[in-house]
Amino acid sequence: MIERCLEGGCQCGSVRYRITGSPVLAALCHCTMCRRANAAPAVAWAMYEQSQVAFLNEVPTVYASSPGAHRGFCARCGTQISFTADYIPGLIDITIGSLDEPSQVSPTLHYWVSERLPWLHFSDGLPRHPEFPPTDG
Ligand SMILES: [Zn+2]
Ligand SMILES: [Zn+2]
């Protein structure tokens, strides 16, 4: 059996990555920090073990958006790529929007809906968590 592989990268191609296997979690985040960093009303994230993700060219430039939390982006074109944090050791979030085939990873829940923009509505029927979801699933 061949393990599932996904690739993605930034808009200019400087940052490219390859992911092996399935995500630990895929979700839509409505928090103000993701919104600002991505300049988007909500951000879709796929969370992986760091060992599942290999960067092929440039590694993302990192910005500490809050203590212990790091957002990785392409220094050349600005595409947001990743999120890592002390409170999720060994894990890395990858922006689903940076995948070559973003339709291959479907979010299964929403989190930080307490900060959702009032004009943003999804009719997907997925579970909604006011803040960060329970980390056991
Ligand atoms: Zn780039
Ligand atoms: Zn967020």
Residue 137's pLDDT band (cuts 50, 70, 90): very low
Q: How far apart are the CA of 8 and the centre of ligand 1, in A?
A: 11
Q: Minimum-distance ligand to the CA of 71?
A: 2
Q: Minimum-distance ligand to the CA of 33?
A: 2
Q: Minimum-distance ligand to the CA of 57?
A: 1
Q: Which of 40, 34, 41 is nearest to 63 (CA)?
A: 34
The Cα 91–Cα 5 span in angstroms is 18
DSSP 11: S
Confidence (pTM): 0.94
Average pLDDT score over residue span 78-106: 97
Query: Residues 70, 62: contact at Cβ < 8 Å?
Result: yes
Q: Using one digit for the tens of pLDDT, what is the confidence trace for 15-74?
A: 999 999 999 999 999 999 999 999 999 999 999 999 999 999 999 999 999 999 999 999
Q: How far apart are the CA of 46 and the centre of ligand 1, in A?
A: 19
